Amino acid sequence: MSTIAQNIETIVAKMPQDVRLVAVSKFHPVERLREAYDAGQRLFGENRVQELVAKAPQLPPDVEWHFIGHLQRNKVRQLLPHVTMIHSVHSVELLRLIDKEAARIGRTVDVLIELHVAQEMTKSGFAPDEALRDITPQLLDELSHVRVRGVMTMATFTSDMEQVAREFALAQNTFVQMRDQLQFPAFDQLSMGMSEDWPLAVKHGATMVRIGTDIFGPREY
Ligand SMILES: *Cc1c(COP(=O)(O)O)cnc(C)c1O
């Protein structure tokens, strides 16, 4: 069994069955993704449009690609045909643009609202109060080709697990409040947790975890 297959097996064994594993394959060559594919992994996450678009045709068509990086407006058109979900919607303007482009090519795409709960200013996304104010039932009604499926977040990069736990709790709380406010049945996804903190994210209700290093090893930038 390959190391990658073993890594996936180890993670999946520790994870509740209803949590989905996004294999974050950024910076790794397609041969390594194929090892993960051969081990049964079908869901991959990438954070750069160019890289995702280049890799997608090199893997079998039953792979599901999720975009998890910062998305620029001028890359939406290029990205859309290749992804089933965009985790990182950081503004209403971007949400509307994705809807327009999806309508243009006659597709519906799932998206998550990116929440900013970390202390780092470099991370993007809606503050919890902004998300509650801006993502309204009326807005969802206006979107014909985008389904807002939930929220995504990243905790602060720190070894202080109490801080990470507080941030995950805030994200979970915001997710629940948004769900109550939106009353949209498909709003059911909470994407949080990476190699260092995913068990804590699962404790706070994550339905999807995004794991790179623990599957593929360290990245060479
Ligand atoms: C790279 C990345 C991950 C995975 O990080 P690891 O620490 O390698 O597991 C998860 N989420 C996002 C948004 C990323 O950019």
Residue 122 scores a pLDDT above 80: no
The ligand 1 atom nearest the CA atom of 26: 1
Mutate to test the pocket of ligand 1, among 4, 15, 21, 24 (most ligand atoms within 8 A of CB): 24
HSE-up (13 A, CA, CB side) for residue 134: 18
Decide: pTM greater than 0.85.
Answer: yes
Instruction: Give residue 31's pLDDT band: very low, low, confident or very high (50, 70, 90).
Output: very high
pLDDT, residue 131, reads 98
Between the CA of 121 and the centroid of ligand 1 the distance, in Å, is 17
User: Using an 8 Å Cβ cutoff, are 95 and 111 in contact?
Assistant: yes
Using alpha carbons, list the distances in angstroms from residue 210 to 16, 39, 163.
14, 17, 19
